[in-house]
Amino acid sequence: MRIELLNKYFKMDQLPHIWCPGCGNGIALGAAVEAIDNSTMDKDKICIVSGIGCSSRASGYLNFDSLHTTHGRAIAFATGIKLANPELNVIVITGDGDCTAIGGNHLIHGCRRNIDINVLVFNNNIYGMTGGQYSPTTPRNARTSTSRQGTVERQFDICKLSENAGATYVARGTVFHYKHLIGLIEGAFKNKGFSIVEILTPCPIQFGRRNKTPEPADMMRLLKNSTSFSDDGKTKIGVFRDEKEPEFVSEYIKLLSNEGDISV
């Protein structure tokens, strides 16, 4: 993290952060801050909303007005904030469990409404903070505290899920591909509609230690080798959708201003 950005956007008295050695959350948060700095958004009109989990601790480290909400409900809170204050740029920081299990319904209906919020999902394929249980994105056969012999469930593809539910900007990046990731997050900020960036990030402690990759550097190499910019069977990274469609809050405001016409 560039020292200028650290001084500008972080609550320095809250650092060092609580994340474990080698946890990718710090890198993902760094990329988000770089993207915020690069964007043309009014920095005094940014609100960060997070749920519960390791990644959701991120909101507490930044010098923005923020809400650290209840488990799975970050998108619901963000929806209320955006409706009450449409001029705010609302950024949700959440994890795979928070966003797609407990908050799964909020996610799909946020996508369906195409409400102008930006969701950054730090996907480490596990519930870290609560003890290493498997999440909806844990790969099949991976060992977790609730699947000691390996997970039998199939995974959600967060990008496909969001795209099909109606999100208008959908992208996936990794903390290894840092500069690429910054660009993806900037793209999310530019879209006026529901934007989601799935950020693949290692959890060496709860995931790695149970799955033969306890070393952060090995998890990073795995991230590098298992992803690709093209369709070659690896996990694809890049932008999957970037389209304009009617946005919920603007449509709602239009409706209110037309009220005189439609009421008889």
Contact residues: other proteins, CB under 8 A: 1-3, 6, 10, 15-17, 19-27, 30, 178-179, 204, 215-217, 220
Q: Least distance from C-beta 17 to other proteins, angstroms?
A: 7
Considering the rule CB under 6 A, would residue 61 count as an interface residue with ligand SF4?
A: no
Interface pick for ligand SF4 out of 9, 10, 25, 69 (rule CB under 6 A): 25
Q: How far apart are CA 68 and CA 87, in angstroms?
A: 20
* Residue spans of beta strands (DSSP E) within 19-88: 46-50, 65-68
**Residue 74, interface with ligand SF4 (CB under 6 A)?**
no
64: Cβ contacts below 8 Å, ≥ 6 apart: 9, 43, 46, 47, 48
Nearest distance, CB of residue 37 and other proteins, angstroms: 14
Residues listed for the chain: 264
Phi-psi region of 27 (alpha: psi -120 to 50; beta: other; left: phi over 0): alpha
Q: 205 touches which of ligand SF4, other proteins, none (CB within 5 to 8 A by kind)?
A: ligand SF4
Say which entry of other proteins, ligand SF4, none residue 16 contacts (CB below 5 to 8 A, set by partner kind). Answer: other proteins
Query: Shortest distance, CB of residue 29 to other proteins, whole angstroms?
Result: 9
What would the 3-class secondary structure string for 92-129 be?
EEEEHHHHHHHCHHHHHHHHHHCCCCEEEEEECCCECC
Of the candidates 95, 46, 48, 90, the one whose C-alpha atom is nearest the C-alpha of residue 72 is: 95
Residue from 20, 142, 222, 239 binding ligand SF4 (CB under 6 A): 20
> In angstroms, what is the minimal distance from the CB of 121 to other proteins?
18
Least separation in angstroms between CB 221 and other proteins: 8
Number of residues that bind ligand SF4 (CB under 6 A): 12
Output the six-digit token pair for 159. Answer: 């990008």
The angle that helices 158-165 and 104-113 make with each other, rounded to 10 degrees, is: 40
Sign for the pseudo-dihedral over CA of 201, 156, 96, 231? positive
Looking only at residues 125 through 144 of this chain, which bind ligand SF4 when binding is defined by CB under 6 A? Answer: 128-129
| 2/244 with CB nearer ligand SF4 | 2
28 binds ligand SF4 (CB under 6 A): no
Out of other proteins, ligand SF4, none, which partner does residue 3 contact, by CB within 5 to 8 A per kind?
A: other proteins
Minimum CB separation of residue 143 from ligand SF4 in Å reads: 15
Which is closer to other proteins, CB of 17 or CB of 190?
A: 17
Kindly state whether residue 23 participates in binding ligand SF4, applying the rule CB under 6 A: yes
Token pair belonging to 122:
């730090």
The two three-digit tokens of residue 73, written as one number? 């409900």
Is there a contact between 168 and 114 (Cβ–Cβ < 8 Å)? yes
Q: Could you say whether residue 205 binds ligand SF4 (CB under 6 A)?
A: yes
Binding site for ligand SF4 (CB under 6 A): 19-20, 23, 25, 54, 124, 128-129, 203-206
